[in-house]
Amino acid sequence: MARLIMILRRFGQALPTLVGIIVVTFLLTRALPGDPAAYFAGAAADAESIEEVRVMLGLDRSLPEQFWIYLGDLAQGDLGMSISTGQPVLTEILTRLPASLELTLTGLLIAVVIALPLGILAATRPGSWVDHLCRLIVTAGVSLPIFFTGLFLVYIFYYLAGWAPSPLGRLDIFFLPPPHVTGFYTIDALLAGDVETFQAALAQLALPALTLAIFALAPLARMTRASMLQVLSSDFVRTARANGLPPGQVLSTYAFPNALLPILTTLGMVFSFLLGANVLVEKVFAWPGIGSFAIEALIVSDYAAVQGFVLAMALLFVGLNLAIDIAYTVIDPRVSLDA
Amino acid sequence: MDRRDLLKAMAVTGGLLPMLKYLPASAAGREGTLLVVTGFGPNSMDIQRSGSNRPSYQIAVNLYDRLLTYGRSERPDGSISYDYATLAPELAESWEVAADGMSATFNLRRDATFWDGTPVTAADVKWSFDRAVSVGGFPTVQMRAGSLENPEQFVAVDDHTFRIDFIRPSKLTLPDLAVPVPIIINSTIARANATDDDPWATEYLHRNPAGSGAFMLERWDPGQQVVYRRNDNWASGTVPAVERVIIREVPSASTRRALLERGDADVSLDLPPRDTSELIAAGGLQVTGVPIENCVHALGINVAIPPFDDVRVRQAVAYAIPYEEIFRSAAYQRGVPMYGATSPTPSSTAWPQPFPYATDHDRARALLAEAGLADGFDVPLAFNMGLAQWTEPTALLIQEGLGRVGIRATLDRVPGANWRTRAMVDKSLPLHLKNFGGWLNYPDYYFYWVYQSDRLFNSMNYANAEVDSLVDTTLHMEVDDPDYAPNIRRMIQIAMEEVPLVPLWQPFLDVAMQTDVEGYEYWFHRQLDARPLRKATD
């Protein structure tokens, strides 16, 4: 119960941030160079039809008036129409955000599963071949541009070996999307009991998720290694060892849980990086995610779409930070939400 | 949850690590289905909606009928192109122009029905035409080009007879009926979904096409794919051979190429010129490149900004451009050169045609010296980042060429969204790379948009009284009029001498296909007409 109240309080604290974001994105989009009315009136439009489009978009009104209308729509949950894709912004976000999240979370999961053991092994055996391997992977992950990794994987696994399915987005052309529940195709397919579609969705997911994982591996592995090294040299680990506890128990019960905190912080940061880095992966794998939507919208000054995207991301990060803060309190009783 | 539970939960998740399993790339069930990969997809099912992007035009082409279409002709290399010189029946099985040349009467097919089974009537045609000239924006502008301006011009004589009254006789009116814009919409459905605020049902038709075309819409996942299903009752032409056409958006050109080379995609659109020339060299695929009619990639010179008000400076620029290098390394030779003509006068009435300029630095320097600019000058060279594939390398090469004669150009990279405002509306770019293509294939139509004073695409601020009057008198004139050819030659002659626009090359429309895909046709609207396509294996 106490925790629930704290969570609610944290949401309350996030409100000013959200208000700030709404105001700033509204002003920033208006400050973008370019005239959306001229752009969307089409190639052959004359001054008259550009003016018609301007009126249709409501851009002929004063800024405060536009902002007031925007607030009113927002209060009703209406994010407006994206003129570049011709869809309501809310629909776009609701279909594209799960696609991005599914990809990002899978990538992150793969990264965690590889990076944590690697970092721990490297820390327990400094200077050994595992440590060198860790260093190699970290260097490669940091220095390879993400679109290069993506195209490279496509070239190897799809073009040459033919193991991966065609990089055509979330599902091969002969599958229909599973009934919408969470928006995650893999989970929805399982909920519908459709194993074939699940496998197809997973197969499409494999290469792009791996691309993201390679990118995310580096900071995670490095942080795990550093954090473990520090904890392993601390007094309580020495005491545990001196008391004759088996090395496995020392590692899993005493060292690792205490090293988790900085790893978790890094995880949160890597997650936000990944959502941003998605754009390039989305382009290579024709993934209908939120990143490419936002970039396209930005290029053509599609105000409603940009505002909606930034707002959705802001909400996501408020939620994410909260989740991480709560996770801290679970891992380490010394941390409290009040702090 | 406390910390022990969390650690336990983490251990369990670790154990459930999903096994990554790859499916074989070969997919079954492809018969009768054509998979097309493209860089950009449509953002509307309605070409007449404001904000509809260029890929939306293919919806109008494949899902709707027009009254007329164009004939077909075979090009010298064996590929098939539409033929702008002949009109052919689509929904109208026949038509005649009145003796006084002031109206045309169309007889509609009696067996033509919309997808829902209701017959296509002249009332539907009237409603659709009224809509096209009334909704504003691009469709209305395009209709106006054919002198189709107000609803009173359109008369439903009886159920199967439709008449257009002309406001002036024009050679552009009938051809304008065969461009993608004047689609025939099922007016019963559209009217049922119209509201007071939206009398033309733009919101409904944006998502739900209602036509009589060769394909129906099976599904549209915006940003991902469009799927057409064949309309077996299509009356306005030969029913398509393929049952389904899937058009998938694949933004990365490299991925599109991999899909094609692996044999997973049947047709790939939006090929970068470099990929095209490499695919041709590699062999094993069909690559069709047809010069885009009435279109030219060019350097625009703003005559309102000194020193370009001096024709000698413009000519100096035209002589300083490294044409050959540009054609080789920016166009990858996917086009027709538009430079190096040997005669200083136009050789024919064809447009575009090579201009009498070639790289000649001495001549450029001499012209600059004559204009009192022997020391050169500084100037920004602007190009559209949205078209960076050809504009960026071209701009770099032009910058280098200009540098050789003392003109110090700096590159001005303009984002796609700003391009229109800066180049077309403000007309404030001294040197800029531009491309314009006219749908209706007449030189005077190109001049109307690009060379006539104050036109939107006249980003050069060019104003010449003789050109203006030549365009006005020629625009609606029939091509067999004795004055037509001399007028066109004179226009081109002036354009060559005064060079507000330095043509570089006429680009190709490149499409790569598997060898078993047959029936591809080039169309001026540059969209894929899926109706005549078939697969040899089917």
Q: Which two tokens stand for residue A306?
A: 């940009």
The chain B residue lying nearest A171, using CA atoms, is: B224
Interface contact flag, B141 A44, Cβ < 8 Å? yes
B295-506: CATH topology is Dipeptide-binding Protein; domain 3 (3.10.105)
Rg (CA), chain A: 24
Q: Which two tokens stand for residue B508?
A: 């190709």
State the nearest Cα–Cα gap between B261 and chain A, in angstroms. 8
CATH 3.30.1280.10 fits B67-72+80-189, yes or no: no
pLDDT of residue A70: 87
List of residues 6+ apart from A313 with CB closer than 8 A: A275
Q: Which of B87, B85, B58 is nearest to B70 (CA)?
A: B87
Confidence of residue A83 (pLDDT cuts 50, 70, 90): confident
Confidence of residue B6 (pLDDT cuts 50, 70, 90): low
Amino acid of residue B177: L
A residues 107..166 contacting B (CB < 8 A): 113, 151, 154-155, 157-159, 162-166
Confidence of residue B474 (pLDDT cuts 50, 70, 90): very high
Q: Is B268 helix (H, G, I), strand (E, B) or coil?
A: strand
Amino acid of residue B183: I
- A248 interface with B at CB cutoff 8 Å: no
Range of weakest confidence among A34-43, A155-164, B324-333: A34-43
List the single residue in B221, B259, B416 with the smallest CB-CB distance to A300. B416
Q: Tokens 């591996």: give the residue.
A: A217
Q: Looking at beta carbons, which residues of chain B come within 8 Å of A35?
A: 417-418, 420-421, 425
Interface contact flag, A157 B22, Cβ < 8 Å? yes
List the single residue in B23, B35, B424 with the smallest CB-CB distance to A173. B35
The chain A residue lying nearest B257, using CA atoms, is: A159
Q: Looking at beta carbons, which residues of chain B come within 8 Å of A157?
A: 22
A268 has a pLDDT exceeding 90: no
Q: Looking at beta carbons, which residues of chain B come within 8 Å of A286?
A: 224, 248-252, 255
Beta bridge partners of B268: B37, B512
- Count CB atoms within 10 A of the CB of residue B394: 27
Q: Tokens 């007889």: give the residue.
A: B107
pLDDT tens digits for range B150-191: 999 999 999 999 999 999 999 999 999 999 999 999 999 999
Query: Pairing relation of β-strands B80-89 and B521-522?
Result: parallel
Total beta-carbon pairs less than 8 A apart between chain A and chain B: 184
Q: What is the 3-state secondary structure (H, E, C) of chain A?
A: CHHHHHHHHHHHHHHHHHHHHHHHHHHHHHHCCCCHHHHHCCCCCCHHHHHHHHHHHCCCCCHHHHHHHHHHHHHCCCCCEECCCCEEHHHHHHHHHHHHHHHHHHHHHHHHHHHHHHHHHHHHCCCCHHHHHHHHHHHHHHHCCHHHHHHHHHHHHHHHCCCCCCCCCCCCCCCCCCCCCCCCHHHHHHHCCCHHHHHHHHHHHHHHHHHHHHHHHHHHHHHHHHHHHHHHCCHHHHHHHHCCCCHHHHHHHHHHHHHHHHHHHHHHHHHHHHHHHHHHHHHHCCCCCHHHHHHHHHHCCCHHHHHHHHHHHHHHHHHHHHHHHHHHHHHCCCCCCCC
Q: Which two tokens stand for residue A136?
A: 């190699």
pLDDT tens digits for range A229-267: 999 888 988 898 899 888 888 888 888 888 888 888 888
B11 has a pLDDT exceeding 60: no
Interface mutation target, options A29, A32, A49, A109, chain B, most CBs of B under 10 Å: A49
Q: Is B265 helix (H, G, I), strand (E, B) or coil?
A: coil
Q: What is the 3-state secondary structure (H, E, C) of B401-437?
A: HHHHCCEEEEEEEECHHHHHHHHHHCCCCCEEEEEEE
List of residues 6+ apart from A143 with CB closer than 8 A: none
pLDDT of residue B21: 30
The 8-class DSSP code of residue B152 comes to G
pLDDT of residue A127: 85
pLDDT tens digits for range A184-222: 988 888 888 888 889 899 999 999 999 999 888 888 998
Q: Which of A74, A69, A71 is nearest to A57 (CA)?
A: A69
Q: Which of A276, A329, A318 is nearest to A298 (CA)?
A: A276
pLDDT of residue B400: 95
Confidence of residue A182 (pLDDT cuts 50, 70, 90): confident
Interface contact flag, A167 B250, Cβ < 8 Å? yes
A residues 86..115 contacting B (CB < 8 A): 86-87, 92, 96, 113
pLDDT of residue B66: 95
Query: Mean pLDDT, chain B, as a whole number?
Result: 89
Query: Mean pLDDT, chain A, as a whole number?
Result: 85
Interface mutation target, options B176, B206, B254, chain A, most CBs of A under 10 Å: B254
Q: Looking at beta carbons, which residues of chain A come within 8 Å of B265?
A: 166
Q: Which two tokens stand for residue B279?
A: 């695919």
A324 has a pLDDT exceeding 90: no
Asked whether the domain spanning B295-506 has the same topology as the one spanning B67-72+80-189, the reply is no
A174 has a pLDDT exceeding 80: no
State the nearest Cα–Cα gap between A234 and chain B, in angstroms. 21
Q: Looking at beta carbons, which residues of chain B come within 8 Å of A83?
A: 51
Report cis status (omega within 30 of 0) of the bond before B291: no
Q: Looking at beta carbons, which residues of chain A come within 8 Å of B39?
A: none
- The architecture in CATH of the region B3-62+213-266+514-535 reads 3-Layer(aba) Sandwich (3.40)
pLDDT tens digits for range B128-154: 999 999 988 788 888 998 999 999 999
Interface contact flag, B255 A167, Cβ < 8 Å? yes
Q: Which of B110, B73, B71 is nearest to B93 (CA)?
A: B110
pLDDT of residue A1: 63
pLDDT of residue A110: 94
From CA A152, how far away is CA A146, in angstroms rounded? Answer: 10
From CA B411, how far away is CA B379, in angstroms rounded? Answer: 9
Q: Looking at beta carbons, which residues of chain B come within 8 Å of A56?
A: 50
pLDDT of residue A42: 66
pLDDT tens digits for range B284-328: 899 999 999 999 999 999 999 989 999 999 999 999 999 999 999
B26 has a pLDDT exceeding 50: no
Q: Which of B246, B231, B228, B225 is nearest to B27 (CA)?
A: B246
Confidence of residue B24 (pLDDT cuts 50, 70, 90): very low
pLDDT of residue B132: 94
Average pLDDT over residues B230-256: 92
pLDDT tens digits for range B311-322: 999 999 999 999
Residue of B77 and B295 predicted with greater confidence: B295
State the nearest Cα–Cα gap between B320 and chain A, in angstroms. 31
List the single residue in A38, A87, A332 with the smallest CB-CB distance to B425. A38
B348 has a pLDDT exceeding 60: yes
pLDDT of residue A337: 56
pLDDT of residue B5: 59
The chain B residue lying nearest A33, using CA atoms, is: B418
- Domain parsing of chain B, residue ranges: 3-62+213-266+514-535, 67-72+80-189, 295-506
pLDDT of residue B94: 94
Confidence of residue B448 (pLDDT cuts 50, 70, 90): very high
- Domain parsing of chain A, residue ranges: 1-84+300-339, 95-231+260-286
pLDDT of residue B8: 56
Q: Looking at beta carbons, which residues of chain B come within 8 Å of A333?
A: 3
pLDDT of residue A164: 87
- A282 interface with B at CB cutoff 8 Å: yes
Query: Pairing relation of β-strands B431-437 and B377-384?
Result: parallel
